[in-house]
Amino acid sequence: MKILVTGAKGMLGRTLLRILGREHSIFPADLPETDILDEKTLDAAFAAFKPDAAVHCAAFTNVDRCESEPEAAFRLNRDGTGNVARACAKHSSRLVAISTDYVFGGDSDVPYRESDRPAPRTVYGKSKLAGEEEALAALPSAAILRIAWLYGAGGPSFVHTMAKLGAAGGPPLKVVDDQRGNPTSCEAVASAVSFILGKGIEGVVHGTCEGICSWFDLARETFSLLGIERAVAPCTTAEFPRPAPRPANSALENTVLAGAGFEMPHWKDALKEFARNEFSRP
């Protein structure tokens, strides 16, 4: 298959290039050559490469900055996604558009399913949801793959931050323990993307690693895997106010993938594998 990846230089894009590139021919689309806000450069990339499918990763991903730059967030996450979906429709390409757990409000007691109604509270979540809607309006056969708590080779991610802070030593590190979600590796997302493309799955799909934990649990597991001795202390969200309010529960249930026979790895297994590759020292 020929696959065009937008945001190819980003954290997820780089892993997709490496993993999908083993079996497919890849066109890495990113700034400055391919700008998803410039329909001419986008169209030129599609016309030259003639992709069978596009995986759309490019996004305004800084959740806190989205609050102070809502126009830029909507331009990239809504309008940019619409442009990519229209290019797919025009060039008869399939689309997997990457979205987020932040489309949900976070007040549910149970993991969110694909059939649950989104209710984003942040500019980031609202702009990503608007992007989902744009994609499905332009290309009803698109797959929207919602992922969460992402980490991958080279970062930046929470796992990388913890590795750095842990290695620096010092007093117990306070980490938020009242937000729950599914830490998810870029490698696992790449497998889900392959499966979705292979099976021709359409519509909204949740694709996070199995198992639920808090940021505190994730920090503790990271320290344990890396042999870091610095202590971790649980704290509340209220102790770390951020411009964009974080959902208390953003765990997703992979109902569609499970129904199609695909299981994501458990977050602890995926993290163990990642830590071995990312942080092993010669």
Residues at the contact surface with ligand NAP, assessed by CB under 6 A: 6-7, 9-13, 30-31, 34-37, 57-59, 61, 76, 80, 98, 100, 128, 147-150
Contacts of 230 (CB under 8 A, 6+ apart): 165, 166, 168, 169, 170, 172, 173, 223
Expressed in angstroms, the distance from the first to the final Cα of the chain is: 36
| Shorter beta-carbon distance to ligand NAP: residue 6 or 93 | 6
Instruction: Give the nearest distance from C-beta 9 to ligand NAP in angstroms.
Output: 4
Q: Is 151 a catalytic residue?
A: no
CA-based angle 40:42:48, to the nearest 5? 100
Whether a cis peptide bond, with omega within 30° of 0, leads into 265 is no
Instruction: Give the nearest distance from C-beta 61 to ligand NAP in angstroms.
Output: 4
Instruction: Give the nearest distance from C-beta 170 to ligand NAP in angstroms.
Output: 25
Q: Quick check: 189 and 147 in contact, CB under 8 A?
A: yes
Torsion angles phi and psi, residue 26, rounded to 5: -115, 140
What would the two tokens of residue 72 be?
């830029």
Q: Which residue is nearest to ligand NAP (CB)?
A: 10
Instruction: Give the nearest distance from C-beta 128 to ligand NAP in angstroms.
Output: 6
* The residue to which tokens 């700008």 are assigned: 35
Instruction: Give the nearest distance from C-beta 171 to ligand NAP in angstroms.
Output: 27
Distance CA 187, CA 208 (A): 11
106: left (phi over 0), alpha (psi -120 to 50) or beta: left
| Shorter beta-carbon distance to ligand NAP: residue 132 or 202 | 132
| Shorter beta-carbon distance to ligand NAP: residue 29 or 173 | 29
For the chain, list the strands marked E by DSSP.
2-6, 25-29, 53-56, 94-100, 143-147, 150-151, 173-176, 180-181, 184-185, 203-206, 213-214, 232-235
Q: Which of 102, 112, 124, 151 is catalytic?
A: 124
Distance CA 77, CA 84 (A): 11
| Shorter beta-carbon distance to ligand NAP: residue 147 or 232 | 147
| Shorter beta-carbon distance to ligand NAP: residue 89 or 153 | 153
Residues marked as catalytic: 124
